[in-house]
Amino acid sequence: MKIRTHKDLEVYQISFNAAMEIFELTKNFPKEEMYSLTDQIRRSSCSVSGNIAEAFRSRRYLKFFISKLTISESEAAETQVWLDFSLSCKYIDKATYNNLFDKYDHIISMIVNMKKQPDKWTL
């Protein structure tokens, strides 16, 4: 399959779906977390796919492409930290935590592989 837009990238699809899972999950977080943990985990999870999209659209410029992927990787790792807090605060159960944490590990791995082989992705 030919990749025409960022939406065709598997890593984008997985990260977007994971962010939507987090969005739905955080609807059940306590109201006092609205402007702290809920906001932080939503922002970081959405930023992963946002930066992947920016990287893809900027693939003419190798350094910018890698920079955006690096930001995306960092946001994925940040999301994992907020998942740690969510589990510790007992806002999510261990199975949900493991599922999402593993998804973000996979996303990070995919991003790292893209960064290792930028010529495969850049124009």
* Nearest to 73, CA basis, from 99, 52, 58: 52
pLDDT one-digit tens code per residue, 74-84: 999 999 999 99
1/43 Cα distance (integer angstroms): 31
CATH code reported for the domain at 10-120: 1.20.1440.60
* pLDDT for the residue 123: 77
The pTM for the full model equals 0.95
Q: What are the distances in angstroms from CA 98 to CA 3, 11, 32, 42, 105?
A: 30, 19, 25, 18, 10
Q: Is the predicted pLDDT of residue 2 greater than 90, yes or no?
A: no
Mean pLDDT for the stretch of residues 92-104 = 98
Provide the residue ranges of all domains of the chain, joining segments of one domain with +.
Answer: 10-120
Q: What is the mean pLDDT of the chain?
A: 96
Q: Cβ distance 76 to 104 under 8 Å?
A: yes
* Mean pLDDT value across residues 67-71: 98
